[in-house]
Amino acid sequence: MDLVPIGRFSKMTRLSVKALRLYDEKGLLRPAHVDAQSGYRYYGLSQASQAETIRALRSVDMPLDEIALILGSEDQELTRKQLMAHHERLGEQLAARQRMLRYLESLIQREEGMMPYDIEIIETSPQLVAATKVHMSLRRIGRDIGTGFGSLMQALGREQVAPSGPPLIVYHEVIDEETEGDIEICVPVAKDISGDVDVYGRELEGGSMATTVHHGPYDQIAPAYHTLTGWISEHGHEIAGPPREIYLNDPQTVAPEELLTRVEFPICSEPE
């Protein structure tokens, strides 16, 4: 076998040395030989085709774990299904970015730079919910929330308990492009559940809420938060707890533009 050092193989394959070391650690592309004394990695020329497959799949943002499944399988049907699933995911991402561009254009064209929202104060009663906590990042928000809701609904199914209202999420921490945090995914229920390690029953606090309804895709909800927090401050109130998002219709049955999300902030009056 003709062997070349990692630096030369990097130039041949247009993969950085750092990437090749990562793919070695992940088991995607092992060196053909590692010198026992120096630790230098050497690759066979025949490995260039596998390197190109990895490079091409990473260029379309396929996750490393999915690439590993493709490379480790000789089942062409499984490979086809993996590629089709990623193709669909890319289509959804493209559609979301197109919606975001239209949204940004609408923001720029508005004099105030913000979507109009009607704010009201409502009084809510404590509510029994089944809940699960999820630690998430903005980058994987859809996957993390989907997994959390899936676990929650499976637990309710095992206990034969039906939801008694629309699902909601309590955002216990600020989550942005740089910061991960905890959210609590909740489903209202009419009776308590026994639960397990991940899913539990609890009473969601009631009280005074400043609230508005966002009409449109979830990824365009930020102005609702800006409007609410500004209104709370201007009208002599203080935020008294983490915000909640209540999902009033089902993204599986309505278009993104028709989604309705109620955003609520618990409030109290500022001391005089």
For 168-210, what is each residue's pLDDT tens digit? 999 998 887 678 889 999 999 999 888 787 899 999 999 999 9
State if pTM tops 0.85.
no
The CATH class given to the 3-71 domain equals mainly alpha
Q: Identify which of 84, 86, 82 has the alpha carbon closest to the alpha carbon of residue 71.
A: 82
With a CB cutoff of 8 Å and minimum separation 6, the contacts of 13 are: 20, 48, 51, 52, 55
**HSE of 52 in the Cβ direction (CA atoms, 13 Å)?**
6
Distance CA 33, CA 14 (A): 20
SS3 content of the chain, % helix, strand, coil (to 5): 40, 25, 35
Q: Identify which of 211, 270, 203, 214 has the alpha carbon closest to the alpha carbon of residue 247.
A: 214
**H or E stretch covering 61:** none
Architecture of domain 120-269: Alpha-Beta Barrel (3.20)
| Confidence category of residue 108, pLDDT binned at 50, 70, 90 | low
Residue/partner pairs of 214-218 with CB below 8 Å, 24 or more apart = 214/117, 214/259, 214/260, 214/261, 214/262, 214/263, 215/258, 215/259, 215/260, 216/103, 216/256, 216/257, 216/259, 217/96, 217/99, 217/103, 217/256, 217/257, 217/259, 218/251, 218/256, 218/259, 218/261
Mean pLDDT computed over 247-262: 92
Instruction: Tell me which amino acid residue 105 is.
Output: E
For 207-245, what is each residue's pLDDT tens digit? 999 999 999 888 888 888 888 898 998 888 999 999 999
Q: 104 or 226: which carries more pLDDT confidence? A: 226
Distance CA 19, CA 10 (A): 9
Mean pLDDT computed over 243-261: 93
The radius of gyration of the chain's CA atoms, rounded to the nearest angstrom, is 25
Residue 169 pLDDT: 96
